[in-house]
Structure 1
Amino acid sequence: MKKFIGLMVIGLTALMVLSGCGDQKEQETSSGTKETLTVMASGVKNGTQGVFLEQFKQMVEKEYPELTVETTLLPDDQYLTALKSKLSTGQAPDLFLVQPKKASANSVEELAKAGYLEDLSDLENWDKIKDQGKNDMSFEGKPYALSSSISVLGTWYNKDLFKQHKIDLPTNWQAFLAACETLKQAGVTPIVMGDKDSFMIQFGMYQVAANQVYPSNPQFDDQLYTGETKLTDDVWVKTVTMYNELYKKGYVTDKSLGLGQPQAQQSFVDQEAAMIFDGDFSLTAIENDNFDLGFMAMPANEEGETYLSAATGAGYAISKKSQHKETLKAVFNKMTDGQSEMFTNWLATATSFTTYAEGDDLNPVFEEIVPAFEAGRSFYWSNQAWPSGTETEMQAKFSEMIGAGKLKPIDVTEAMQKKFEELTK
């Protein structure tokens, strides 16, 4: 999950229109030499963050000749290690990627509590952000990071294959299983997943949880910390059981543990499977001219309406020790003013729904999830409420279950609960 939640690009081309932001004297030195502004993120060179860092460097150096921008892009695991080291030694980047709520070791709550993040309470347009975007990037009532996107986990599907096999869009779990069986009997792999990248397990699991865990108890995760609920409760055992059912029945390709996310996405694009569980953030990797593309919430509801798994995406925070805080805050103000070209470009970095309060200009591919989102039928990704490491244990044990076939769903949830208790002591 941590990879795909690094999708928040701050400004990109918007920085080209910035002029006069911040105090020029802030960057000047008595000797006239340039000062360095450092930016750090996780991702890959050709991914969202890689493109951002390259353009950020070019644009800021153009607008602020007194500055040299130094960028660092690392894989998720290396990023977390490197960021932790820099923070603990007082060498934090000026601007760096953080996750919402409790998600990951670089979460807003973790880093703000430790005093590493600059308080953004003086931003001019914070109230223009949707409540979800504000709450998820705040700690103890104060804002500490800015994100442009509310990202949705969903089920990308091949509309042409559904039409060819006379499959109506399923609206509940039994109809979804029936659709998978129809495809399987027709010789079509219903679902491809890249579980070699084990974070992808979250992409399906949290969609089930959004329908099985939270509708009956939205405070389930809060109550984990008081002991009122446990990850071994029936609702989580059922969640793991339902997701595992797709593997047991052969609806997910049997080589999922040998495929990474890029390979699974390409298999879907090549029409080797009818569906893939992924996020709206993967649109650019999945969009193609081979077939009519659809995006729906996995209908893991047994009755009633389907709920979405939607969460504020990763965003950027300013280091408490940065010498360029005022310049970076000025950039944030432009990005959220609702009228500038910088604002337009910043908002365009969101794939589907944005954190900005005054509406979304959605790609038509997401039209099927709009009613649920507008009706408030959505819940955050589970890991955002858990101490970092709980989801890793879930992934490891689920992989072991579908790979070796020796574990049961209760074994997975017991391992999750044990890890949760270890991390919260």
Structure 2
Amino acid sequence: MKKPLWTLAVSICTVALVGGCSSGSAPSATSSAAAPAVKSDTPATESKTPAKKDVTLTYIASQGWIKDTEMQLAKKFESETGIRIDYQIIPADQYFNVLKTKLNAKEGPDLFGGQSGKSEISLNYNVEKNAVDLSDQEWTKREDKLSLEQLSLNGKVYALTIWDTGNSFVVVYNKKIYEKLGINVPKTYEELKQASMKIKQAGITPIYEPIADGWHHVLWFAEPGPRYDEATPNLYNDLNANKKKFVDDPSMKTSLTQMKEMYDLGFFGDNTFSDTGADTANKLASGKYAMSLSTQSTPSDVTKINPELKAEDFGFFPIPLADNQFYYINPGGPSKFVYSGSKHIEEAKQYLAFLAKPENLQYMVDNDKTVSNLNFSGLKDKYTDEQKKLFAAYPKRGTDLQDYVNYVNPQWMDMGKDLVAMFSKSMEPIDVLKSIDKRRADMAGVAKDPAWAK
């Protein structure tokens, strides 16, 4: 599951543009950011303004996918067109079941959110049946090609991804704690282990890991995928061609074994099974935790909670499991699909085209503190000095496991359950890999993948 979903709401929250939901990180319709001035597409020589439409588009999405900036833009869109957007936000742990139920019942909303990825959009959403072909839309010429690939089947584009795809989850560490204890940035797992032991001996929990969300801890295994592909050349392609299995790969087994050791040594603290991502900034701000696998915008959240800390007091490094030194890239993310059964397909396309205008994309970059850049050409980024140091220190780039290897992302939450079972000693690392292989085979069978039919 890509970069998503810090906040877990306790009930379904319907967000209308006139009202707003204050639960967790759900976007609010009363954001302090002003709606941007958007140029009209109507030529100045025309004397008539196009008639507004009395249409409401229903749009369901998982908690955390709809930002304040999009809601502000939706207000501007409504003022220009008369088309309203009724956002219905579903808790992360319920979202995919709700979406599948609606799609299977042929009662989909006008727009629905979903993760990108070829196997994801094919198996989970059956986009060739349930979504509209958007290949002819102008914005496809400006969107990052890697992002488009994750949204395409048989040469057709089925969704719009607007996401900070380069803002990978990395280990955010407290420089002050590191400096006080004389710790250098870990380049290997052994160095991370020794650093964590030293931190723990100082009475500080080494890593804040929110396992309760169900998805976050899977990142530790999946993000270092480029390292696995490096250690076993052509692994990604061989996995997609069904020439290799997860269970046969030594680097994957090493990574899981190291994760289990981190848990067994208490590096995640005593409450990791009940900890949630929504509390990450608070925990780092307390000074009682030295690190967390988090987004690169987290330090700015920490400083608002604890003014004694500055954003530059935190640095970044990639997950070093299996001695990974790649800066892993996630070209996909939460995406916007138009439901094929909608009565307002053209209006839904119009909304996506509006969001994808360069000036509106730049507005999102400029006014969303969690975004440093977006996956479209021609935008001005706002990378911090620490991010620039990160990029310079880790020049090797590679696509993470779930965005390249088929039939991984759709089983993300199940992988999370397997890892919990591994931490609880009811599964071994080898069992986790076997479980992943079985689900991949099952999904490939449903998809009638020829590589599994041999």
- Give the TM bin, normalised by the shorter chain: 0.7 to 0.9
Instruction: Show the counterpart of 1:4.
Output: 4
C-alpha deviation, 1:131, in angstroms: 2.1
The answer to whether the aligner puts 1:312 opposite 2:296 as a matched pair is no
405, 409, 421: which one pairs with 2:429?
409
1:156-195 matches, within 5 Å, as 156-195=172-211
- Sequence identity percentage: 21
Deviation (angstroms), 1:238: 1.4
| C-alpha distance in 1 between matches for 2:416 and 2:299 | 24
Aligned ranges 1:174-253 → 2 under 5 Å: 174-211=190-227, 213-217=228-232, 219-233=234-248, 234-253=250-269
Higher relative CO (Cα under 8 Å, sequence separation at least 6) belongs to 1
Structure 2 CA distance for aligned equivalents of residues 87 and 159 of structure 1 = 48
Q: Secondary structure at the match of 1:308?
A: strand
Residues 273-284 of structure 1: matches in 2 within 5 Å? 273-280=289-296
Q: Distance in 2 between matches of 1:248 and 1:313?
A: 32
Matched, 1:299 2:314: no
Return the match for 2:66 from 41, 49, 59. 49
Matches within 5 A, 1:346-425: 346-348=364-366, 351-358=371-378, 360-371=381-392, 375=395, 377-382=397-402, 385-386=406-407, 390-403=411-424, 405-425=425-445
d(CA) in 1 for partners of 2:90 and 2:258? Answer: 35
Structure 2 residues not aligned, in runs of 5+: 7-24, 28-32, 43-47, 446-454
Give the distance between the partners of 2:337 and 2:36, measured in 1 at CA.
17
Task: Determine if the alignment matches structure 1 residue 87 to structure 2 residue 103.
Answer: yes
* 1:27-176 equivalence runs, <5 A: 28=53, 34-43=54-63, 47=64, 49=66, 51=68, 55=72, 58-65=75-82, 67-102=83-118, 107=121, 110-111=124-125, 113-148=127-162, 149-150=164-165, 151-176=167-192
Q: CA-atom RMSD, angstroms?
A: 3.5
Tell me the TM-score normalized by structure 2: 0.77
Question: Aligned pair count?
Answer: 406
- Find the aligned partners of 1:24 and 1:38 in 2 and give their Cα distance: 25
The Cα shift of 1:389 comes to 5.1
Aligned to 2:170, the other structure's residue is in SS state strand
Contact 2:281/2:299 (8 A) holds in 1: no
CA distance in 2, matches of 1:5, 1:140: 29
Secondary structure of the 2:238 match is helix
CA–CA distance in 2 between the matches of 1:144 and 1:371? 35
TM superposition score normalised by structure 1: 0.82
Measured after TM superposition, the shift of residue 402 of structure 1 is: 1.6
> Conserved in 1, the CA contact under 8 Å of 2:169 and 2:293?
yes
2:15 alignment counterpart: none
The 1-side partners of 2:253 and 2:315 are apart by: 30
- Asked whether the 8 Å contact 2:58–2:85 carries over to 1, the reply is yes
Q: CA separation of 1:389/1:142 partners in 2, compared to 1, >3 Å: closer, same or farther?
A: closer
Structure 1: where are the runs of 5+ without partners? Answer: 29-33
Amino acid at match of 2:134: L
Asked if the contact 1:98–1:108 (Cα under 8 Å) also holds between the matched residues in 2, the reply is no
How far apart are 1:120 and its partner, in Å?
1.8
Q: Distance in 1 between matches of 2:35 and 2:99?
A: 26
- Contact 1:311–1:381 (Cα < 8 Å) also in 2: no
Partner Cα distance (2:118, 2:387) in 1: 27
Shift of 1:417: 1.9
Greater CA deviation, 381-390 or 144-153? 381-390
